Amino acid sequence: MGGCAGRRLSDSEGEEANPALRPPPQDRQGAHWKNAVGFWLLGLCNNFSYVVMLSAAHDILSHQRAPGNQSHAVLLADILPTLVIKLLAPLGLHLMPYSPRVLTSGVCAAGSFILVAFSHSVGISLCGVVLASISSGLGEVTFLSLTAFYPRAVISWWSSGTGGAGLLGALSYLGLTQAGLSPQHTLLSMLGVPALLLTSYFLLLTSPGPQDPGGEGEADTAARQPLINSEAPEWKPGSSSHLSLQERWTVFKGLLCYIVPLVLVYFAEYFINQGLFELLFFRNTFLSHAQQYRWYQMLYQAGVFASRSSLRCCRIRHTWALALLQCLNLAFLLADVWLSFLPSIYLVFLIILYEGLLGGAAYVNTFHNIALETSSEHREFAMATTCISDTLGISLSGLLALPLHDFLCQLS
């Protein structure tokens, strides 16, 4: 892949030469829906544990007389492990066999629940956050790389599942704790989520053939067996294992036109979420400060879920436009925090919903465009490499947003 206008794969590329050898249509359709549901559940479970565990960590830390900078500690434990994993991905992590990576992700997710549930110290709680971060980061690198061997449509299903995790994770934790369960019992009740992740991978996904192409009709290649009965996913650790350093560098340079806009989108998005949400406070409303903050988070997650699920009806080629719009969003809300010119909280609600829509659209369209424009031998490497974009943007925003938040609080 030499640039943004790389080779576009034909929908018919890679089809078997003899159509008579293809499985019956009902089998192909069944394989298509098993993979679609499988990737949706993988996206949901991969991010669900992360969302729920972070909420619980804050609750438990608040009962452990944690120091005043606990939010900074949680943020570091949340971001740094994922950042390290994604930095290692293009250097060879993506070449490891898939099944051990999935098992590690599931075990780390379960471990994060157990550690935080039974924690009696700040250190143990933060270790739980670290495990959740490892699980989420390793899972995202693994499953996005795995989409290289399936029809391109699974990228949309994966993205929709990750978007749904934000809503369902927050709602389920809030609902169970409001119903009277302690944070500890709520976490233990959710140990089924890592089990569902492993079940979706080993029993629901069909085994990919060598280098499935990327057309909408690629389910034609499948009436395949569940992964647990096949060695296919370990068919070579990765299709890009033979790429030289020069080839990887060439592919990486071609990916910059996708990586840079996605970094900017997430930088602006999380600058708003980490630095401005608490400062967008309206006194002339029936909602308390805490309730306003929860509504901001919920509307943001709703926007992300909607746009990450929208690929079939709205495809965006030029993701740099989304980066520009998100940066304008940041500038507008920063000006309002400084000058307080917006007359109603409902206008902020709309802007935050719009913020989530932009962020989700940037994510799903970036990976879909990469799947369209990379050759089959480069696609696995390209997916693993581009995973760094969101975490890098979040990390950079945290470096600036938290000090700015403290500075603005001192002025008010």
* Percent of residues, the chain, with pLDDT higher than 90: 50
What is the model's pTM? 0.84
342 shares a domain with 201: no
Cα gap 41→39, rounded to integer Å: 5
- Count of domains in the chain? 2
Which of 2-6, 150-154, 181-185, 400-404 is the most confident on average?
150-154
Q: What is the CATH number of the domain that holds 270?
A: 1.20.1250
Q: Give 83's contacts (C-beta < 8 A, 6+ positions apart).
A: 137, 388, 391, 392, 395
pLDDT: is 91 or 7 the higher one? 91
Among candidates 331, 336, 357, which has minimal Cα distance to 347?
336
Q: pLDDT for 214-264, tens place per residue?
A: 444 443 343 334 444 444 344 444 555 678 888 999 999 999 999 999 999
184 shares a domain with 39: yes
Mean pLDDT value across residues 71-81 = 80
Give the pLDDT of residue 227.
46
117 in a domain, yes or no? yes
Where does a domain end: 208, 226, 259?
208
271 in a domain, yes or no? yes
Confidence category of residue 94, pLDDT binned at 50, 70, 90: low
List the domain range (segments joined by +) for residue 378.
243-411
Where does a domain end: 208, 234, 253?
208
231 in a domain, yes or no? no
Helices 153-178, 25-62: axis angle to 10 degrees equals 40
Mean pLDDT value across residues 181-185 = 86
Give the pLDDT of residue 217.
43
Q: What is the CATH number of the domain that holds 57?
A: 1.20.1250.20
Among candidates 378, 381, 384, which has minimal Cα distance to 7?
378
Q: pLDDT for 200-220, tens place per residue?
A: 999 999 987 554 444 444 433
